[in-house]
Amino acid sequence: MKTLFITIFVFGILSSCNSQSKNDFSDFYNTHEDDIGIITFSLPIGLANAFIADDDAEAKDAFAKVSNMKFFICEKDNGYYEKKIKKYMPEGTYHDLMVVKNGKESVSFKMKEPTKGKKREVVLIITEPESFVAISFVGNFTLNDAKEMANSIETDELGDIRM
């Protein structure tokens, strides 16, 4: 009986640790990158800088501090991955930098503050009725750099903006 109790106790602790470890974008990405219909890739930072306007020095400075970018794209989503990512990126861990909504479409920037020995992460999430895109930016950038990255995205006709 004592062995059974110890086994159940250890199994419970391991299960608890396992469920708590899935709390960031990397876990979401790694869990779902091989799902059917998903496109995932990493983009070298030098190539990413080519997509920033030459006259936008502040955005270039902010993106220069990014060390890793990961893309997660689903063209026929129907809301599935939008629901899934919320479990991996809880509100207490990821904070909204900017949210833009227009009907059923939304663009949001969420930020995860660095913990000891880790880098800051910003995740751009774009949801539409038929598609889902998430892009992770990880690096040694400041909160102001993250806000500059968010502000560099053109949002003129996207609807209500919340920062």
> Which tens digits make up the pLDDT trace of 80-127?
999 999 899 988 889 888 898 998 899 998 988 777 767 888 999 999
Q: Of 32-36, 37-41, 64-68, where does mean pLDDT reach its minimum?
A: 64-68
The reply to whether 62 falls in a domain is yes
The reply to whether 149 falls in a domain is yes
Token pair recorded at residue 120: 């800051």
Query: What pLDDT does 154 receive?
Result: 56
The reply to whether 2 falls in a domain is no
Helices (H), ranges, the chain: 2-21, 25-32, 45-49, 57-64, 80-88, 143-151
The reply to whether 9 falls in a domain is no
- Cβ-contact 133, 107 below 8 angstroms: no
The reply to whether 54 falls in a domain is yes
Q: At what angle do helices 57-64 and 143-151 cross, to 10 degrees?
A: 130
The reply to whether 11 falls in a domain is no
Confidence band of 36 (pLDDT split at 50, 70, 90): very high
Quote the number of domains for the chain: 1
The reply to whether 138 falls in a domain is yes
139, pLDDT greater than 90: no
Expressed as residue numbers, the domain containing 139 is 22-162
Q: Across all residues in the chain, what is the average pLDDT?
A: 76
The reply to whether 94 falls in a domain is yes
